């Protein structure tokens, strides 16, 4: 009888040690996963969690750009180093924007968004958009001759992107309500991409 109790006790101890070891391993794996999270991952997780609220006008995530400007955005797509979003600001209904991820000074999630932002994302099938860099997206705006409001660390300019090089863009400056015609152009700005905070357009 004593031997039975001894073996039961040993078995119970082994089971407990194995559970403790599995728990410690799971905690360490979670710590490693969190250590690999990027800001892009957190934004993408919030966007996925808010997926059911896409038509809710209040569904948005707040970000602070370098320099302190705070924007309410509804993320639409993510590239390698940028995200596209709908601006959720008064008077800016329907406006879209491109935000370089390097221009984000802080993500300002609500309490309800904080935990979902830490959730693991489903394994993506390496979508093409996720590998596209900022210059490629800006070239598309250039090709379409889209009027943009360009916000940089130095201020805001209105105009049309004339060309996109590897690390800078040429912006033809003109009034927001004027088309890009030579007679309407008031000047030109050659802007390093590293200084771009936001490209807004309709």
Please provide the average confidence, as pLDDT, over all residues in the chain.
87
The C-alpha atoms of residue 114 and residue 95 are separated, in whole angstroms, by 26
Give the single-character DSSP code of 166. S
Mean per-residue pLDDT for 49-60?
Answer: 60
Which residues 6+ apart lie within 8 Å of 53 measured at CB?
59
B/e letters for 147-174, b = 16+ CB within 10 Å, e = fewer, are bbbbbbeeeebbbbbbebeeebbbbbbb
* pLDDT reported for residue 6: 64
Sheet strands (E) in the chain: 61-65, 70-78, 82-87, 96-100, 104-108, 147-152, 155-164, 168-173, 187-192, 196-201
Mean per-residue pLDDT for 7-30?
Answer: 77
Q: Which tens digit of pLDDT belongs to each residue from 82-109? A: 999 999 877 766 799 999 999 999 999 9
Q: Are 68 and 167 in contact (CB under 8 A)?
A: no
Helices (H), 75-147: 111-114, 134-143
CA nearest 104: which of 73, 133, 137? 73
3-state class (DSSP) for residue 57 = coil
* pLDDT reported for residue 125: 46
Mean per-residue pLDDT for 150-179?
Answer: 95
CB atoms within 10 A of CB 44: 19
Q: Which tens digit of pLDDT belongs to each residue from 69-80? A: 999 999 999 999
The C-alpha atoms of residue 101 and residue 43 are separated, in whole angstroms, by 10
Q: Are 168 and 192 in contact (CB under 8 A)?
A: yes
Q: Which residue has the higher pLDDT, 51 or 183?
A: 183
* pLDDT reported for residue 2: 67
* pLDDT reported for residue 28: 81
Give the single-character DSSP code of 167. S
Q: Which tens digit of pLDDT belongs to each residue from 7-17? A: 677 777 777 78
The C-alpha atoms of residue 126 and residue 118 are separated, in whole angstroms, by 20
* pLDDT reported for residue 56: 53
Mean per-residue pLDDT for 128-154?
Answer: 93
CA-based torsion, 134, 158, 84, 42: positive or negative: positive
Mean per-residue pLDDT for 4-9?
Answer: 68
């Amino acid at each position: 009888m004593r031997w039975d109790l001894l073996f039961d006790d040993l078995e119970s101890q082994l089971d407990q040690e194995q559970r403790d070891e599995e728990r410690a391993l799971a905690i360490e794996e979670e710590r490693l996963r969190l250590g690999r999270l990027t800001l892009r991952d957190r934004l993408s997780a919030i966007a996925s969690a808010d997926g059911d609220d896409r038509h809710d006008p209040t569904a948005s995530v707040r970000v602070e750009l370098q320099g302190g400007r705070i924007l309410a955005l509804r993320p639409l797509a993510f590239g390698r180093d940028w995200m596209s979003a709908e601006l959720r600001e008064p008077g800016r209904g329907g406006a879209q924007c491109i935000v370089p991820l390097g221009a984000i000074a802080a993500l300002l999630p609500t309490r309800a968004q904080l935990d979902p932002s830490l959730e693991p994302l489903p394994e993506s099938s390496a979508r093409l958009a996720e590998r596209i860099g900022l210059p490629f997206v800006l070239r598309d705006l250039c090709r379409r001759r889209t009027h943009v409001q360009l916000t940089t660390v130095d201020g805001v300019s209105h105009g049309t992107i004339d060309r996109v090089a590897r690390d800078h863009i040429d912006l033809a400056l003109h009034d927001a309500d004027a088309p890009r015609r030579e007679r309407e152009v008031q000047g030109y700005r050659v802007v390093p991409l590293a200084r771009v905070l936001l490209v807004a357009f309709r």
